[in-house]
Amino acid sequence: MEYRNGKKAALHNLGCKVNAYETEAMEQKLEQAGYEIVPFAPGADVYVINTCSVTNIADRKSRQMLHKAKKLNPQAIVVAAGCYVQTAKERTGLEVEADIILGNNKKKDLLEALEEYEQKRSSAAGDDPEKEAVSPAEGEEYGRSFGDDRSNERIIDINHTREYEPLFLSRTQEHTRAYIKAQDGCNQFCSYCIIPYARGRARSRKMEEVLGEVRTLADTGVKEVVLTGIHLSSYGKDLDTSLLELIRQVHDLPGIERIRLGSLEPGIVTEEFAQALSRLPKMCPHFHLSLQSGSDTVLKRMNRKYTGEEYAKRCGILRKYFDQPALTTDVIVGFPGETEEEFRETVEFLKRIRFYETHIFKYSKRKGTKAAAMKEQIPEEVKGKRSNVLLELNEKNKQAYETELLGRRAEVLLEERIQKEGREFYSGYTKEYVKVLVPADGRAENQILEGILERCGDGGLTIR
Residue 215 pLDDT class (50, 70, 90 cuts): very high
Instruction: Determine the average pLDDT of the residues in 424-442.
Output: 92
Q: Is the pLDDT of residue 402 over 50?
A: yes
Q: What is the pLDDT of residues 339-395, one digit of tens each?
A: 999 999 999 999 999 999 999 999 998 888 999 999 999 999 999 999 999 999 999
Give the model's confidence band at 456: pLDDT under 50 very low, under 70 low, under 90 confident, else very high: confident
The pLDDT, as a whole number, for residue 160 is: 67
Whether residue 146 is predicted with pLDDT greater than 80 in this model: the reply is no
**Quick check: 205 and 182 in contact, CB under 8 A?**
yes
Over range 120-145, report the average pLDDT. 46
CB 446 within 8 A of CB 414: yes
pLDDT for 422 equals: 82
Whether residue 168 has pLDDT greater than 70: yes
pLDDT of residue 127: 52
Helix axes 271-278, 308-321, angle to 10 degrees: 30
Give me the pLDDT at residue 152, please: 56
Q: Is 174 helix (H, G, I), strand (E, B) or coil?
A: coil
d(CA 396, CA 214): 37
Report the percent of the chain where pLDDT is more than 70. Answer: 91
Residue 91 has pLDDT above 80, yes or no: no
Q: Are 448 and 410 in contact (CB under 8 A)?
A: no
Which positions ≥6 away from 381 have C-beta within 8 Å?
Answer: none
Task: Say what the pLDDT of residue 158 is.
Answer: 72
Specify the 3-state DSSP secondary structure of 452.
Answer: strand
Compare 1 and 198 and report the one with higher pLDDT. Answer: 198
What pLDDT, on a 0 to 100 scale, did the predictor assign at position 139? 33
The band of 129, judged by pLDDT with boundaries at 50, 70 and 90, is very low
Please, which pLDDT band fits residue 42 given cuts at 50, 70 and 90? very high
- Of the two residues 136 and 117, the one the predictor is more confident about is 117
pLDDT for the residue 3: 59
pLDDT at site 329: 98
SS3 assignment for 244-290: HHHHHHHHCCCCCCEEEECCECHHHCCHHHHHHHHCCCCECCEEEEC
What is the pLDDT, as a whole number, of residue 136?
33
Alpha-carbon gap, residue 328 to 432, rounded angstroms: 10
Confidence of residue 460 (pLDDT cuts 50, 70, 90): confident
Is 409 within 8 Å of 438 (Cβ atoms)? no
End-to-end CA distance of the chain: 42
Residue 142 has pLDDT above 60, yes or no: no
What's the burial of 149, exposed, middle or buried (CB within 10 Å: 0-12/13-18/19+)? middle
Provide mean pLDDT across the span 11-38: 95
Least confident of 38-52, 112-126, 350-364, 401-415: 112-126
The per-residue DSSP string of 401-446 comes to: HHHHHTTSEEEEEEEEEEEETTEEEEEEE-TT--EEEEE-TT--TT
CA geometry: angle 33, 31, 21, nearest 5 deg: 120
- Please tell me the pTM assigned to this model: 0.89
What is the structure's pLDDT at 57?
Answer: 87
What is the Cα Rg of the chain in Å? 24
3-state secondary structure of 329: strand
- How are strands ordered across the β-sheet holding 423-429? 435-439, 423-429, 409-420, 448-455, 461-463
- Rounded Cα gap, residues 25 and 19, in angstroms: 10
Q: Is 184 helix (H, G, I), strand (E, B) or coil?
A: strand
Across the chain, mean pLDDT equals 90
The SS3 of residue 362 is: strand
113 in the Ramachandran plot: left (φ > 0), alpha (ψ -120 to 50) or beta? alpha
Alpha-carbon span 340 to 297, nearest angstrom? 13
What whole-number distance in Å separates Cα of residue 213 and Cα of residue 28? 14
Alpha-carbon dihedral sign for residues 432, 435, 227, 53: positive
Please give the pLDDT value at position 131. Answer: 41
